[in-house]
Structures are given as structure tokens and as C-alpha cells.
Structure 1
Amino acid sequence: MIEMDNKGCRELLIHRMTLAVITSIMLQLFVVCCVVLLTNLSTDYAHWLEETWTIIMSPRMWAYIIMLTLVTFLQSFFCSKNYLRPPLYYKSRFAKLCMTLRIQSLHQRAFYIAIGGILVWLQLSLRKESSSTTDCSIVYGMYSIEEYYFLLFSGLWSGLYFSFKIDTFAEKYFQFPIIAQSKFLQLRRRFYIMFPTLMISSLWSTLYFMAIYYFMGSYFHEALLSFSTQVEVKPLDTVSRLLNLSLIWQLWLYQFIFMLIINYTNTLFEIYLTEWTPFKFGLSGAYTPDSSETTLIDVLSMDKIPIMQYLGYLDLVTLAQKDKMRRSMLFTLSQPGGHPYNWNCVVQKSTNLLKKFSLDLNAISTKSQDQSCYSTLTARVPPVQQSKYIYHMRKLVPDIAPIPVSEDVREAPYSGSFIQKFIKQKKDAFIAYLLSKPLINYIFGEQDDNKIRYALQNGQLMIWAAEAISSLTVFSLSEDSYGIVQKDVPVIINTLLSVKQALDKLSKSAMLARKMQADDKLIREIFISLRSAIKRSLYRIVTNFEPYINDLSLELPIIEQLQSFLNYKE
């Protein structure tokens, strides 16, 4: 489904996605059997069960199974794209709109519309005596032609509503279970969480479709009159006909089943793909694309396949806290007197990941402070006629251009770099002028909220990286017989402190305060969990290395920052 150089990685993902598809088909067949049982409800229980069994074992049911399998495989293809590709960053609302209008995005929306219509059509075909040309009298289990197409088009509407209600093109956050549980327990817990939400969402979808049909149903009724003579005289787009409880129940049921099947498939993919997998250590830390076996060092480098990188750090934090035998393998040398390749690669990749994360947070906080300072200054200082002062402040030292070298005096004004720089300055000034307009900035301006969300979307990786290297550092006091970890303890402490400072700076910025006030549950949970994990990691190292703090060759400002942890004041 995607290009993967490593054979072991490809086999692992294909195996898990295949199991997710098979489980999804089995659950959907169970749901369909329950629907057939409910829709053919009768007071004659023996006849009811016999009729239901006949429908389930009929050739129509087997045709339904084949069609459902094809639909599920198509849905699994789009699920794999969402789970296996790196998340995209939408700089502005216009960029997000352009992304939703791409051919691939339109194909995905069309797929959901088609699958909604196909599911309703298959479920209607399993009803007893159902036909698009039945008698006009409404009997239980029988439809008029307009009611049949009314329910059929409601399936298309459910796909359209779902494609706009659920932003399938947004960043995908991997939800790993906090406590290791079986797949059945995870699925049951997810079902209890999503069931009330799906009921309410399908109810709103039903009400919207009934309202649309009430205003647009006359055009549909006239179109049916031109193609069929069996339409009843009284149209369906009336209040009395639309408020038929049996029709509303069937309409809501098909909306609910569609959303349940789509969410169940996505949930099963997430449950299977996020299952913990132990990876082996290689002889070296180099990435080996020709190897048939995926090592832990390999998956820690797979930032192009996010789910594999998540599984790698999940295995790293698991062995760091629970697996003594594998930790001993990590603390060994490649050969007597050799280098600790595995440890060097693990600590390098983990610290680099945390350093990059802290740099991204500092960039967001710095820009937020610059914008707030600029807005404060422009609000307090009245405008002046002369525009030669930056930020409307008087400059005590005039700007003096540096004197160029004599041999470059003739070439600088005419060089291509000067012309390009001049054009770029004019272009940036023109763009800045356009973005100063509120409406243009709303559509084309960069959203600060998206920056925070995009930066914190890998918060789980940062939590695992910090927990892993801090736990390994602590266990090295008793298990590292070669002393290979001691040389990296100052780097680990400095990295964790830099992440803590970046998080503290971001928490004080007005940007995150607005995001917190907007009740963004995901951002709030990731941010709070990340701050707690960083502090917990620092406490873990400081409390165990307290007798050796002065022997770690730490700088004086770093030791002063660690005093709050030594005194338990953080």
C-alpha cells in the first residue's frame, strides 16, 4: 500500500492490516444479521426466526458478503493511507481548502458516498418481499417506490454527511492504550465511548436529510413520475408522511449502521496497528534496507512511516522499564573493547528527537511573543507621520551600512544576488501588506493554532523518548557494567531541561492560553501529559544521581536549575 524498503516492516504492517480487515468483515456480518433480525420483527416468533434464518442463508446474503468484502478492502486502502503516511501541515485555511479539493481527497469523499449507498441497498435487498415496485399500500416490510428510493438516497447522504462531519484529511493521532489490554477489551471500551456519540450524530444526520427532502422532495417526486407510473398520488415530502415512525426508525437505523461500520473499521485498524511488538537489536546502528528483519534501531529512524516509529519508541520504553534481559543487550559492546553501537544510536536518536521538538516549541513561543509585543507597542504608541522608525520607536544609533570591499564596489549594484534580494524584499513587503487586511489574513494567513497542534501531535513520541532514556539512565547505575551510559548523562539532562523550558515558555504564551480556553481537549491532554512526563523523567534522574551531581561535569546554570528538583519544588 505504500513503498517500504524494509521487508520486515512491510510484512508486519500487511499482516496486521489483513487481520484488521478480516475482523472488520466478521463484525459487519454480525451487525447485518442483527439488522435483519430487527427489521423482520414479528409477533409470531417461530415464523420470525425461520424467516430470518432463510434470509441469512439465501444466495442474496452470500452476494452481500462478497460485496461487503470488496467495500471493506477499499476502505482499508484509505485507512492505510491515513495511518501510514506522515501528517501534513496546513499553513492556512486556504491551504486546507485546496487539500480537500484535490483529486485524491475528492475520490475519498466519493468513496464514502458510494459505500453509504451500497450498504443501504444491500440491507434493503435482504428485507423480505422488498422491491422497488411494490404495491402502494404500506405494509410492514414493503415499500412504495418513493420510500424505497428515499431510503436508498439516505445512504448516499450518510456518506456525504460523514465525509464533512469527520475531517478525514486532518492529522491522525495514534491512541495507544495506557494499560496493555486484549483486543476484545479495547474494542468494547471504544464501543462504549463511541456509541452515544454515533447515536446523536446519526440522529442529526436523519433530521437534516428529512429537512432537505421536505424542501427538495417535490423535484424528486416529479422525476419519479416521469419514469414510473406506480408512484402513489400523495407525495412523500409532506409533514404527515415524513413523520411516519416506521420510516424514521429505518432512516435512523441505516444512518447509524453506516457510521458504526466506518468507525469500527478505523478502530480495528488502530487496535491492530498499535499492538506492542518487540524488536531485536542489530550488530550495528546503521540502517540496513537489505535486511529481512527489522531492528529497533531501524524503526526509530522511520519518521516517514509514523506508526513504525511509534512502535519503536513503545518497545524502547517497554524494555527500558520492564525487560532486564534486553536492557543488558543494550548495555553491551559490539565486541570486547569495541563501541556500544546500540546505546549510541538509541541515545542519539532520542535526544535528537527531543531537541528538534524543543526548537519547534521555542520558535512558536518566540513568534507569539514578538506578535504580542508588536501589537502592544502599536496599541500604546500613537502613530507618527514619519515611517523611518521601526515599531514607532526612536533609534539612538543610526543604521550605517558596512563599507564594501573596493573590488566589489562595481559588481554589487549589478549582481544578480542584489536584484534577487531587492525583488524578494518587495515581494515580502507586498505580502505583508496584503496579510495586514483582516479578511485576507483570515483566509491566507498562517494559523498559530495549527502550529501548536502540529508540534504537539508527536507528544506521545516525546513522552516515550523521555521516559525511556531516563529509565535507562537510572538502571545503568546497577546494570551498566561497562559504564557506557555515564558519558551521556549530561547530554540527557540538558536535553530534558531544554524541553521543560520550551514547554514552560509555551504555557505562558497567549497563544496556548487561547487554545486552552477554546476547550481543545486533545491539545490540553497532550500538553499536560508531556509536561508531567518531562518532570517525572528529570526527578527520576536527579533523585538517583543526587550523590553524583557534582561529578557529572554539568555547567553551573544547569546545576542551579536542578536545585528545584533536588528540593522537590517543581
Structure 2
Amino acid sequence: MPSYSKSRFIKFCGIFTSQNILMGILHITIGGLLAGLHLSIKGRKYRFLMSECSVIYGTCLMEEHYFLLLSGFWSGLYFFLKTSIFHIKYLKFPIISSSKLFRFKAGISSLLPSLMAQCIWPTLYYLIGYYFLGPYCCSTILFLASAQLESEPLSNIPSLLNLSLIFQLWLYQLIFILAIDSMYLMFEIYLTEWVSFDFKQSSVFNIDESGMTLPEILSIDKVPIMQHLGYLDLVTITQKDKARRSVLFTLSQPGGHPYNWNCVVEKCTSLIKKFSDDLNACIKPQEPKLSLCAPSSTITDISVFQKQYIYHMRNLIKEEIPICTEQSDMKKDVDSELYIQKFIKTKWNNFLTYLLSKRLIAYIFGEIEGGKVCHILFNGQTVIWAADAISSLAVLSLNEDSYGIAQKDLSLIINTLLTLKQILDKLQRTNLMTKKQYGDDKFIKQIFHSLRAAAKRSLYRIVTNFEIYIGDLELETTTIEQLHSFLAYRE
């Protein structure tokens, strides 16, 4: 999971990690290698960087080759900064499962038109940059290689407006980004492929414990790709795998417990609850917690009372409690130290508040409004699958659950989904979703609307199938009143 960056300064510092530096070096190197390999198979003045001069004596620099070779390094740097630094990487799972070949063809056909337009901007930036910085770079190369120029330099407007040169420059940008995006597309196709996981056969006759089971996969939050694949498999079970659903609705032994069902429901509901609590903490400011300590006077009274009746007999002589001067002096010292600490902390907080009142400082070092919400929503895909899975399994249990094990958790499922729906509605009423926070703002809004649709869809699925049993469920009065809007189809 990508780490949460509280401010823009922390996000900027997070760029300079060893992984990002290595990836940047690799991007720049690959961009230069791709341009160099394509130039090596061309003829005339594009094939070699240095060649013998035809008019004057000595070695001359082929500036067209140098111009295009340098553009390869530029393309690596540009697309690394654009796609790897300022964008959060995520894997898009297909809505409808299909073959890998079909997904690759569809991905490439959708990539090409957008990439052709994207390559126009780095081409223009490189032409502008070469116009201003080209003479200095070229003179440095000539000095280091003891070479000279035989033709007019390219760092002027008529030479840079050569259509053939501009087309080759644009083509090299396109080749590089197409190679990189094709690699990412292949990774995405293979990593998001559906994988079938087994349930745990809780039986005394089953001694094979090799491999990870589906409930174990659902709890691996430190490896998000594994958790995503687990919830994808769970949704697939609810859609088209009746044989594995029968294992889910089976007891461990005759008269035993539904271990598989209990584990799956626990993982799904705890995931949705954690997601709802995290979102709610971002929307609603946390209230100050009440102190659990009793007042000092009460504690003193209790200690005196216990002192008087320590032997469970009434003391006829009133014992005077001596006031220890050393303890009182120590208490005064502690109070003075706490006062000094509180004073320093207050002054420091006032100083930080004053600094953050300045717009520029607040923009760089202040907390990004809505940034935490966007960070939480990036993990919304598993919540969508969890809501769809447990609601579908609850509905399917009407016909397939011969033991009635799913009915005991129906009220828990309804309350969990209803809480998620209410928090998403509360978030919709705020202005957090209207502000642009990331370069992937479109994905954030898409996953948010998908979450709202999944919560409503799941509740409608349960309510419409259990309509005649709503009154028999162990639900609170407020919950039943909230479900009436779904029964009347007003949501």
C-alpha cells in the first residue's frame, strides 16, 4: 500500500527514495538505449554520432544524431516524472473477466490514441528546451570530444521547424511510452487474473494443510494484491460456483460449527467496518476523550475510608493522618514541571498556528484537505467486493443453506452495510470530493461512486429478498425505519 503523505512537503520528500532513484535511472537509460538502437539502423547523418568531416579536416559532430539521442534520455526522464512520481500506481481489475489476449488487444487499442496525443507535449517541451539550452550542451560535447560542427547548428527556429526531424522526435517519444505502458499492461493482465483458493476442510479425516485457504488470503492486508485476489475469488464464488458455495455453507462435522462461513463473514464485515470508521474519522472531527481517572478528592476519601476500616472494625479513636511535607513538596515540583511543559507546548502550538496562517507556508507544510479521504478510497475495490459477496451469499442462503448458518449473521450484515452507506452519503454532502487532490482524481471519484452503488445494491438485494422476514430479524427500531426507504424504493 502506498504510504499516506500528510503534506505536500512530505510528498516531495517521498520522491527521493532509493526505489524512485533506481527507477528514474532505468527509465532514462532505457529511453536513451531505444533511441540509440533505432538510430543505429538508419543511414546517412543519423547513423553515427561522430564522423569524418567532408569539407574541413577532423572529426565532426552529427548534430541530428545527437539531437535525437538526447531526446531519448529526455523521454525517459519526462515520462518517469509524469507517470511514476506524480501518480499513485494501482491495478485495475476487469469488470468482466475475459482472456488475456483479448484484454491485451483491448488495452493496446485504447492506449494508442491517448499516447499519440500525450507525446505531443514532451516533443514541444524538448524543442523549446533545446532552443535555449542546445548551444551550451552542444559546445560541451564539442569540447570534450575535440570535434567541430560542419553544418549550421540546430538551435535556431528554422532548423528546429524541420518536419522530418519533428516527426522522428515525436515517434521516439511514442515508442518509449508504448514500450513502458505495454509492460505495465502485461503486468496488470497477469497479476489481476482470477485465482481459485480452497476452503479449509475442518474434518478429522483431512490431514492435508498445505497451501493458503481463502479466509487466510482475505486477511493479508500487508500484501494488497493477494487480498484483492481473495475477494475477487469470493465474488466469483457467489456468481457462478455452486459447488464451492456448498462447502461454504457446510458444518465442520455433523452438529459442528460453520468455520468457513464464520471466517468469511468476519473478514468481510471487519474490512467494511474499518473502512467506514476510517472515513468517518476524516469527516467528523474526533471528540476529546473523557478522562477515566477519578477526581483526586474522591480518591482521597476512599483511601481515608479504607484506612479507617482496614481491619473491618470501627476505630473508636479518630486517627489523624499526618501531612507529609516531603510529598507536598514533590507534588509542587511536579506541578511546576507540568506547568512549564504545558506553557512551552502552548507557545509552540501558537507559533505553528501563526506559521500555518500564512498561505504559502500552509500550502507547502499544511495538511492536504481531503488527502486522507483519497488515500482511504484507494482501497475501496476490496470493500465493493466484500459488500457484494456477503449480500449475495445471504440471499443465496435462502435456497442453498440447509443448516441456516447464514441467518444468524444477517442483522450484522445489514447494520454493517447500512453504516457504510450512511458514511458515504455524509461524505457526498461535504465538499471534500469536489476538490482535486491527485492526478488520479478521476479514479478517486469513480471508486467513490462505485462504493455508493455497491452499498445501495447490496442493501436492496437483501431487503427485497428478506422483505417478509424483516420484522423477525433482531434489528433496532431505527435500523428498520432506515430500511423502509429501501422497501419503498426511494433510495
TM-score range, shorter chain: 0.7 to 0.9
Choose the corresponding residue for 1:171, options 88, 92, 111: 88
Choose the corresponding residue for 2:392, options 447, 456, 471: 471
CA contact (8 A) 2:433 2:445 kept: no
Choose the corresponding residue for 1:530, options 410, 433, 451: 451
Corresponding residue of 1:107: 22
Secondary structure at 2:222 match in 1: coil
Q: Distance in 2 between matches of 1:509 and 1:221?
A: 55
Choose the corresponding residue for 1:297, options 186, 204, 215: 215
Corresponding residue of 1:62: none
Corresponding residue of 2:230: 312
CA contact (8 A) 2:29 2:73 kept: yes
CA contact (8 A) 2:238 2:245 kept: yes
Choose the corresponding residue for 1:512, options 426, 433, 450: 433
Q: Specify whether residues 243 and 282 from structure 1 end up closer, same or farther in structure 2 by C-alpha distance, changes over 3 A only.
A: same
Looking at CA atoms only, which structure, 1 or 2, has the larger radius of gyration?
2
Q: Per-residue displacement from partner, 1:437-473 (whole Å, max 9, x unpaired)?
A: 3222111111123112111111111110000000000
Choose the corresponding residue for 2:109, options 165, 183, 192: 192
> Is residue 151 of structure 1 aligned with residue 72 of structure 2?
no
Q: Specify whether residues 223 and 364 from structure 1 end up closer, same or farther in structure 2 by C-alpha distance, changes over 3 A only.
A: same
Secondary structure at 1:88 match in 2: coil
Report the Cα offset of residue 201 of structure 1: 1.9
CA contact (8 A) 1:224 1:231 kept: no
Report the Cα offset of residue 349 of structure 1: 0.6
Corresponding residue of 1:484: 405
**Structure 1: which 5+ residue stretches go unaligned?**
1-85, 138-142, 371-400
Report the Cα offset of residue 358 of structure 1: 0.8
CA contact (8 A) 1:542 1:562 kept: yes
Choose the corresponding residue for 1:125, options 40, 48, 58: 40
Corresponding residue of 2:159: 241
Report the Cα offset of residue 175 of structure 1: 0.9
Choose the corresponding residue for 1:207, options 109, 114, 124: 124
CA contact (8 A) 2:15 2:85 kept: no
Report the Cα offset of residue 230 of structure 1: 5.1
Secondary structure at 2:405 match in 1: coil
Secondary structure at 1:152 match in 2: helix
Q: Which has the larger displacement, 445-454 or 251-260?
A: 445-454
Q: Which amino acid aligns with 1:131?
A: F
Q: Specify whether residues 566 and 445 from structure 1 end up closer, same or farther in structure 2 by C-alpha distance, changes over 3 A only.
A: same
Report the Cα offset of residue 220 of structure 1: 2.4
Q: Distance in 1 between matches of 2:75 and 2:101?
A: 28
Q: Specify whether residues 441 and 266 from structure 1 end up closer, same or farther in structure 2 by C-alpha distance, changes over 3 A only.
A: same
Corresponding residue of 1:47: none
Choose the corresponding residue for 1:231, options 130, 149, 153: 149
Q: How many residues align?
A: 444
Q: Distance in 2 between matches of 1:450 and 1:253?
A: 37
Corresponding residue of 1:396: none
Corresponding residue of 1:356: 274
Secondary structure at 1:568 match in 2: coil
Q: Which has the larger displacement, 93-102 or 435-444?
A: 435-444
Q: Which amino acid aligns with 1:451?
A: K
Q: Which has the larger displacement, 300-309 or 161-170?
A: 161-170
Q: Distance in 2 between matches of 1:262 and 1:449?
A: 31
Choose the corresponding residue for 2:4, options 86, 89, 92: 89
TM-score w.r.t. length of structure 2 = 0.84
Report the Cα offset of residue 115 of structure 1: 1.4
CA contact (8 A) 1:507 1:513 kept: no
CA contact (8 A) 2:421 2:455 kept: yes
> Is residue 161 of structure 1 aligned with residue 78 of structure 2?
yes
Secondary structure at 1:354 match in 2: helix
Q: Specify whether residues 299 and 275 from structure 1 end up closer, same or farther in structure 2 by C-alpha distance, changes over 3 A only.
A: same
> Is residue 445 of structure 1 aligned with residue 366 of structure 2?
yes
CA contact (8 A) 2:374 2:444 kept: yes
Corresponding residue of 2:490: 569
- 1:48-63 map, 5 Å: none
Corresponding residue of 1:325: 243
Aligned-CA RMSD value: 2.8
Corresponding residue of 1:338: 256
Q: Specify whether residues 114 and 343 from structure 1 end up closer, same or farther in structure 2 by C-alpha distance, changes over 3 A only.
A: same
CA contact (8 A) 1:320 1:327 kept: yes
CA contact (8 A) 1:133 1:230 kept: no
Secondary structure at 2:94 match in 1: coil
Q: Which amino acid aligns with 1:340?
A: P
Q: Distance in 2 between matches of 1:462 and 1:279?
A: 19
Q: Specify whether residues 291 and 124 from structure 1 end up closer, same or farther in structure 2 by C-alpha distance, changes over 3 A only.
A: farther
Report the Cα offset of residue 107 of structure 1: 2.3
Secondary structure at 2:434 match in 1: helix
> Is residue 260 of structure 1 aligned with residue 170 of structure 2?
no
Secondary structure at 2:69 match in 1: helix
Q: Which amino acid aligns with 1:125?
A: S
Secondary structure at 1:510 match in 2: coil
Choose the corresponding residue for 2:353, options 428, 432, 441: 432
Q: Distance in 2 between matches of 1:532 and 1:556?
A: 25
Q: Which amino acid aligns with 1:549?
A: I
Q: Which has the larger displacement, 323-332 or 115-124?
A: 115-124
TM-score w.r.t. length of structure 1 = 0.73
Q: Per-residue displacement from partner, 1:191-233 (whole Å, max 9, x unpaired)?
A: 2222222112212111111111111121123223332445314
CA contact (8 A) 2:119 2:173 kept: yes
Q: Distance in 1 between matches of 2:171 and 2:409?
A: 60
Q: Which amino acid aligns with 2:25?
A: A
Q: Specify whether residues 272 and 419 from structure 1 end up closer, same or farther in structure 2 by C-alpha distance, changes over 3 A only.
A: farther
Q: Which has the larger displacement, 229-238 or 427-436?
A: 427-436
Q: Which amino acid aligns with 1:338?
A: G
